[in-house]
Amino acid sequence: METCIFCKIIRKEIPTNILYEDNEILAFLDIFPASEGQTLVIPKKHAKYIFDIEEKEYINLFLKAKKITKAIDKSLHPIRTCIVVEGFAVDHVHIRLHPCYEKHLNLKPVEPKPSKEELEKVEKKIKSALK
């Protein structure tokens, strides 16, 4: 899709902090996080509704989200990382991983938005745990 922001990220037209990438999946830090390390896991193939994607793609998306979650948990030490699949903010299938540092899930973006340097620091921590 020409105008989809996630498709632009996939095509590297918009810079982002990529945590994981393979032929089918891209995971990157959310630039409007509700908590440190909030990550988006998306299929590279554009789809608007998660229940319309092929079963193999669906399973792969969730398996990669699990892998990224384990790295978030290992590197950032939240109480747990929650998963949200809603699909309204961007019309491209995506899983949001929310590291929770308190016993409630805050879905509101933190203010002010993290700096480029702060995002790069978190990116390095999570990427090192993925190895």
Spatial strand order of the sheet with 25-29 comes to 18-21, 25-29, 39-43, 95-100, 80-84
Choose the catalytic residue: 46, 77, 92, 94. Answer: 94
Q: Dihedral sign, CA of 84, 89, 91, 92? A: negative
Phi, psi (deg, nearest 5) at residue 95: -110, 130
Catalytic: 92?
no
Q: How far is CA 117 from the centre of its chain?
A: 18
- Where in the sequence numbering do the catalytic residues fall? 94
